[in-house]
Amino acid sequence: MAQNPPNNRPDDNDDENTPQDPFSAMFGQLFGGGFNPDDLPPQLRDALGAQGDPAAMQRMMQQAQAMMSAMMNNNASAGPVNWKLASDTALQAYASDDPEVSVARQSAITDASYLADLWLNNATSFESGSIPIEAWTRKRWYDKTLATWKKITEPVAESVAQAITTSMKDQIPEQMKGMLGNSDQMFRNLGASMFGMQLGSALGGLAKDVLGGTDIGLPLAGTTPGIVATNVAAFGDGLEIPEQEVLLYVILRESAHTRLFDRVPWLSSQLISAVEAYARGIHIDMSHIEEAVRDIDPSNPEALQSMLGEGLFNPQRTPAQDRALENLELTLALIEGWVDHVVSLAAQNLPFAEHLRETMRRRRATGGPAESTFAALVGLELRPRKLREAAALWEHLHDERGIDGRDAVWGHPDLMPTEEDLSDPTGFTKRRELAAQEFDDFDVALGKLLAGEFDQKNPDGAEQNDDPEDPKN
């Protein structure tokens, strides 16, 4: 027979022969009352983001209940992320303002796509793909990019799940152990649910902010180009630039990204693989999690928020990870710099092209709140910090080699510019020529060595005598 915790108010419908569900009992332990949202103190509701709003309070409690239900259900999550919970949380973030794309808006996007393709044909040697630009709702963007997010985030989530399992088993109060059991799978479900809720919140925020499928430098939607119509309209608000010009500029960028990823087959897979490898190497600070769990005070709203918040999962980077991040940022800078340069050539006829170019540069360099939340969660900032230097390099190569010669640099990973090239664009060609000459000299010398063509001679030119009895030796 279940007993109500001290100071708990039994529900009017409680039957003393009906055991109290673990979720209610846990909140009874944490909040000093039965599981009733009205019993929570106002400061706790504010700390958890409800701000006294009954609807927000209800959503928060529904999320908490879903998380606890997932924890108790061994089948709730087949992997390190509870993706259903993540999707439900993301949906709550963007669903309130996600209108369908009108016929008129779809027509404007289609017309702008045709014009963008014509302009890009004169700015790059990479041909247009056969897939037209799609007009997406926020939900459509989330659905189209979800598979890529899984690749990027699940390695980090696996580390979190392991850390949660170890820490919670050691730190959970004794009175909770009997109620919740001691199953490793249960605690993995808890980690998957907590991470899923936070990731869903971050992706829901991104869904309200991104302009298209390649807006953060990764081919999130694969080979399908698209723009989020509502977000593009919101981006244009306040710029004092005609809406059609803003739309055309955004489509030019999405189309340029798509051409690059389509025509450089190794780039997309290498970029995603680099992100995956970086994520797999992230180290979760176990001591940080153990301290958070051990020191949590249920009566302190700020401490509870910290436990449930993103600070619990801040990854700790190793020196190897820092180097990997530098390489990743270089690749992102080269991609964004090329797109920035090519679009500037293609958009020369737009009156506000330079203003839009500078706005986009700042936007990519600083990121928004949603991007910062995602970066804090997985320890990865997808920002091209040297975008301007990369754009200057591509511009120099264009002036020196023309469009075909500039784009030919993407022909092989070994040809790609380095950090030194970003610092000194004018020396790019000379350094490549010297490297090629050194390789040719080495190849010739190796060929002679293998063919036995080297004559062994003394410094004075005389042939070397290998006879040890010869007095000349």
pLDDT attached to residue 50: 44
Sign of the torsion angle spanned by Cα atoms 180, 186, 188, 191: negative
Rounded distance between C-alpha atoms, residue 101 and residue 107, angstroms: 10
- CB of 196 within 8 A of CB of 89? yes
pLDDT attached to residue 131: 82
- List the single range of 372-381, 428-437, 459-468 with lowest mean pLDDT: 459-468
Instruction: With a cut of 90, say whether residue 335 has pLDDT above it.
Output: yes
Rounded distance between C-alpha atoms, residue 336 and residue 387, angstroms: 6
More confident residue, 107 or 437: 107
Per the DSSP assignment, residues forming a β-bridge with 226 are 134
In the structure, what pLDDT confidence band is assigned to residue 120 with cuts at 50, 70 and 90? very high
Instruction: With a cut of 80, say whether residue 289 has pLDDT above it.
Output: no
In the structure, what pLDDT confidence band is assigned to residue 125 with cuts at 50, 70 and 90? very high
- List the single range of 33-37, 310-314, 334-338 with lowest mean pLDDT: 33-37
Q: 435-448 as b/e, with b when 16 or more CB fall inside 10 Å? A: eeeeeeeeeeeeee
**Rounded mean pLDDT, 322-342:** 89
In the structure, what pLDDT confidence band is assigned to residue 391 with cuts at 50, 70 and 90? very high
pLDDT attached to residue 442: 60
Rounded distance between C-alpha atoms, residue 271 and residue 333, angstroms: 12
Rounded distance between C-alpha atoms, residue 28 and residue 419, angstroms: 57
Q: 381-394 as b/e, with b when 16 or more CB fall inside 10 Å? A: bbbbebbbbbbbbb
**Rounded mean pLDDT, 181-189:** 67
Q: What is the pLDDT of residues 454-470, one digit of tens each?
A: 655 554 555 555 555 55
Q: Which two tokens stand for residue 156?
A: 């980090």
In the structure, what pLDDT confidence band is assigned to residue 472 with cuts at 50, 70 and 90? low
In the structure, what pLDDT confidence band is assigned to residue 118 with cuts at 50, 70 and 90? very high
**Rounded mean pLDDT, 85-108:** 93
- List the single range of 31-35, 205-209, 303-307 with lowest mean pLDDT: 31-35
- List the single range of 16-25, 166-175, 244-253, 384-393 with lowest mean pLDDT: 16-25
Rounded distance between C-alpha atoms, residue 128 and residue 118, angstroms: 9
Q: What pTM value is reported for the model?
A: 0.74
pLDDT attached to residue 274: 79
Q: What is the pLDDT of residues 94-105, one digit of tens each?
A: 999 999 999 999
The count of other CB atoms within 10 Å of the CB of residue 43 is 11
In the structure, what pLDDT confidence band is assigned to residue 314 with cuts at 50, 70 and 90? low
Q: Which amino acid is at 68?
A: M
Sign of the torsion angle spanned by Cα atoms 423, 382, 340, 235: negative
**Rounded mean pLDDT, 175-192:** 67
Instruction: With a cut of 50, say whether residue 368 has pLDDT above it.
Output: yes
- CB of 43 within 8 A of CB of 23? no
- List the single range of 102-111, 148-157, 196-205, 455-464 with lowest mean pLDDT: 455-464
Sign of the torsion angle spanned by Cα atoms 252, 340, 383, 239: negative
Rg (CA), the chain: 29
Instruction: With a cut of 80, say whether residue 321 has pLDDT above it.
Output: no
Q: What is the pLDDT of residues 211-243, one digit of tens each?
A: 999 988 889 998 889 999 999 999 999 799 999
Q: Which amino acid is at 110?
A: T
In the structure, what pLDDT confidence band is assigned to residue 452 with cuts at 50, 70 and 90? confident
Q: What is the pLDDT of residues 66-83, one digit of tens each?
A: 555 555 454 445 688 889
pLDDT attached to residue 158: 80
Instruction: With a cut of 90, say whether residue 426 has pLDDT above it.
Output: yes
Rounded distance between C-alpha atoms, residue 234 and residue 99, angstroms: 13
- List the single range of 59-73, 237-251, 438-452 with lowest mean pLDDT: 59-73
More confident residue, 99 or 364: 99
More confident residue, 46 or 436: 436
